[in-house]
A and B are shown apart, each in its own frame.
Chain A
């Protein structure tokens, strides 16, 4: 076994991974229609290049990347674009978002796509553009555009690529399954990513609760040379958090407010690696993914290859949903996933799991009791925070103390809430407090800007006043000087003479009319 480092805190919830039978990929089938949100990633939504009524083939571009931090979107099958309108999407906010609805024609006809001959001879730039064109965004959950992440090489010297196959969330086995069925693809994808990043070391990280995946990855890694190593370590939640995994593997901590790239590290998900391989070697865009459908309210849980845009309703039917004992539908895992209000939302690039538990399995939480500051949360926190203190400060809206207690370093893993004997939804308090701080910072920026504007205006007015005063003084000085020079030339007498002359000429005009 390789060496590894311990991280602070962590918890051991029931794993429940056996439920979804990792290692076998089932087919989710083709629904009647697909709903494709234009924003399935972090960054700007993609911009449409089709209109309602257009017939498209599988793999055809539907929307292109809009700017640097954005990704394109491709049709997951052939059919007709029937609607472009705001629809509910899987997002914690439960707000509607612009979506494209594609009525599938059932023929599943595809465009021709072709990859490069040999990625080993391609330049990093051309590899990045292939990945960018395939619409790949981080498939582990965050959905950051992969091509953008790969450009880290331009800013910082990199040494290591970590493929994060930890999958520490209970229930989810999508990465486990992928590692078992396509370890070679993951390793090849990792090699492509490593070439782009110009790093030598590839670490394939797998928690020790996935022996089959470990064996498959070890076998695949043999072909990739000595710089590609499989790393394993004891199961604990949240070992798969990017920062936590880096500490486990290297003993180093990502500096607060920094990125793994500051340590010369880039992390990628196994699904992302395979998608990159498909994009580079086959030219295939990202149009499907493995989704774990699990929970005891499903009769046929498992890992389903699912086209993006597949409505969750369709998947529930495929997996045999029994609504009698169920109250919750969770997008993601039980620790960090968010509850969906309705099953009429689609699968997106970041959907790794749909969890449909029975009430007995994951009971509705009881009312929160008082915080007794027992400190179990601090024992569990992987970021070594004091969640009990943050809780009080969040309730008091004490922004200064929240920042002093490093609220920003909370990764929202939920370990504190999980152990809290009083069932306090701690993470929810932190999310709200983070929102409050964001808001007040934005407010501060706004008020700073208007203050600056006001001060600039005041300064300008003052300057103008001074300038006017100076002008006036100059005029007065000039006049005095003139008066002093031509003593006979009395200005008062001159003015009287002028007025007299004017009056006379006015009188002449009057009499003349």
Chain B
């Protein structure tokens, strides 16, 4: 009688990569929900359209690369990429914008490097940055939040996507824009003069961030990723903001709370920089990675040309990840902490 020869270990833990990806998708739901509440169904439409497109592209790319599409589609990774990209896109984006973004993310960001696990950059952020550089106008027109402008319905959302020419939405500068362009007002006056500001940061945005924070906290609780990168990033972002706050003068860079709850901060901290493939890999490395993203994020927001900076900060640090890994190797059992072996 012949038995199967398989190498040890013979048992296996309960978690699969498919489940990891599914958990990440699930954890985006609160954020997507709040986005939809404040800005209408545009984001949802983007996610659905982008998701279908991404699946089709992934399928074709796998076929072209002579891989078994069924087996690789099972990992859900392309849906994570497309969902994260579409969350970052402005709602009511035209179809070609979404398409260009998904194409860049899936093909340029992932498959040209060899597919899942081989991509040195975060694919969603590759897609986002390609769009931001190529179509700055479309990328920076963001729907006014509920209460400050009319929220489009589903039919209008579909029009915006499919027949962009006949769609006319209400867009408004985001709080990060307003702050960046502030030249003469004290922070308090700026808050009072601009209807976009809410309780702690921008109307809508503060709740969007809190929702992504909640989703991220759940993922850490589930053990999908560790706290190191997000906490380090939020810490340095808060620290930089505290230093640059300047007691709310006209030169102020905004308070830590404002930065934490504005733009893509929480989304970036828990859903973008936690991408394990393109980030640093050890816990110490993740601390360094997250901390540097936080610093860069603040610097680009305050001194750069773009209103938000998660995508740029992450891509730049993706370059640095292998380097960070090299210097943050944990101390192996039985080895001395300080000495480097290759010296």
Contact = CB atoms under 8 A, between A and B. Distances in A.
**Interface SS of B by simple majority:** loop
Given A339-B4, A370-B115, A375-B281, A258 B10 contact: no
A312 to B, nearest CB: 10
A253 B281 contact: no
A153 interface: no
A348 to B, nearest CB: 18
Contacts of A405: 329
A340 B3 contact: yes
B277 A373 contact: yes
A437 interface: no
Nearest to A407: B332
Interface string B181-195: 000000000000000
**Interface SS of A by simple majority:** loop
B332 A362 contact: no
Interface size, A (range)? 35 or more
A386 B330 contact: yes
A501 interface: no
B117 interface: yes
B17 A341 contact: no
A343 B8 contact: no
Nearest to A356: B3
B250 interface: no
Interface string A93-105: 0100000000000
A303 to B, nearest CB: 20
B51 to A, nearest CB: 20
Interface in B1-16: 1-13, 15-16
Interface string B70-103: 0100010100000000000000000000000000
A329 to B, nearest CB: 4
Contact of A365 (B1, B12, B223, B334): B12
A383 interface: yes
Interface in A403-446: 403-406, 409, 412, 414-415, 417-423, 425, 427-428, 431
A243 B3 contact: no
B276 interface: yes
A484 interface: no
A437 B277 CA distance: 27
Interface size, B (range)? 35 or more
Contacts of A409: 332-335
Contacts of B18: 369
Contacts of B71: 367
Contacts of A415: 9
B7 A253 contact: no
Given A8-B333, A409-B333, A421-B17, A335 B6 contact: no
Contacts of B225: 374-375
Nearest to B75: A369
B276 A372 contact: yes
A365 B6 contact: yes
Interface in B98-152: 115-118
B19 interface: yes
A371 interface: yes
Which of A255, A382, A386, A427 has the most chain B CB atoms inside 10 A of its CB? A386
Interface in A370-391: 370-376, 378-379, 382-386, 388-389
Contact of A384 (B19, B117, B276, B331): B331
B16 A336 contact: no
Contacts of B333: 8, 243, 247, 253-254, 256, 382-384, 409
B341 interface: yes
A373 B325 CA distance: 12
A480 interface: no
A507 to B, nearest CB: 85
A328 B3 contact: yes
A294 to B, nearest CB: 13
B226 A379 contact: yes
Given A383-B333, A386-B281, A374 B20 contact: yes
B117 A414 contact: no
Given A340-B3, A343-B1, A404 B341 contact: yes
A106 interface: no
A14 B11 contact: yes
Given A328-B3, A370-B17, A383-B332, A375 B8 contact: no
Closest 3 CB pairs of A and B: A414-B9, A370-B117, A256-B334
6 contacts: A334-B9, A339-B7, A339-B10, A372-B20, A378-B330, A386-B329
Interface of A: 8, 11, 13-14, 94, 170, 243, 247, 253-258, 323, 326-330, 332, 334-343, 355, 357, 362-365, 367, 369-376, 378-379, 382-386, 388-389, 403-406, 409, 412, 414-415, 417-423, 425, 427-428, 431
Interface of B: 1-13, 15-20, 71, 75, 77, 115-118, 223-226, 276-277, 279, 281-283, 325, 329-335, 341-342
